Amino acid sequence: MMLTGKTQLLGVIGNPVTHSLSPVMHNAALAELGADYVYVAFPVAAPELEIAIPGLLVLGIQGFNITIPHKQAILPLLADISPAAQAIGAVNTVWRTEQGWAGTNTDVAGFIAPLKSLRDWSGATALVLGNGGAARAVVAGCGQLGFAQIQVVGRNAQKLAEFQASWLASSLHLPLVSLGWDALLTLLPTADLIVNTTPLGMHPTVDRSPLTAAHLALAPAEAVVYDLIYTPRPTQLLAQAAQRGLATLDGLEMLVQQGAAALEIWLHQAAPVATMRQALVDWLAR
Q: Catalytic residues, which ones?
A: 71
Among 54, 118, 157, 159, binds ligand NAP (CB under 6 A): 159
Site string (139-158) toward ligand NAP, x via CB under 6 A: ---------------xxx--
User: How far apart are CB 135 and ligand NAP at their closest, in Å?
Assistant: 6
How many Cβ atoms from other residues are within 10 Å of residue 99's Cβ?
9
Considering only the stretches 41-49, 51-59, 93-101, 248-256, report the one whose residues sit in contact with ligand NAP under the rule CB under 6 A: 248-256
User: How far apart are CB 262 and ligand NAP at their closest, in Å?
Assistant: 12
Degrees to nearest 5, angle at CA 274 with 268 and 277: 105
131 belongs to the binding site for ligand NAP (CB under 6 A): yes
132 belongs to the binding site for ligand NAP (CB under 6 A): yes
For the segment 39-58, give every residue that binds ligand NAP (CB under 6 A): none
Residues 213 and 188: beta-carbon distance below 8 Å: no
C-alpha to C-alpha distance for 13 and 281, rounded to whole angstroms: 23
User: How far apart are CB 54 and ligand NAP at their closest, in Å?
Assistant: 26
Per DSSP bridges, beta strands 8-14 and 37-43 are parallel
C-alpha to C-alpha distance for 62 and 78, rounded to whole angstroms: 14
Residue 119: partners with Cβ closer than 8 Å, 6 or more residues away: none
User: How far apart are CB 142 and ligand NAP at their closest, in Å?
Assistant: 15
C-alpha to C-alpha distance for 67 and 69, rounded to whole angstroms: 6
Interacting residues with ligand NAP (CB under 6 A): 107, 110, 130-135, 154-156, 159, 197-200, 202, 228-230, 251, 254-255, 258
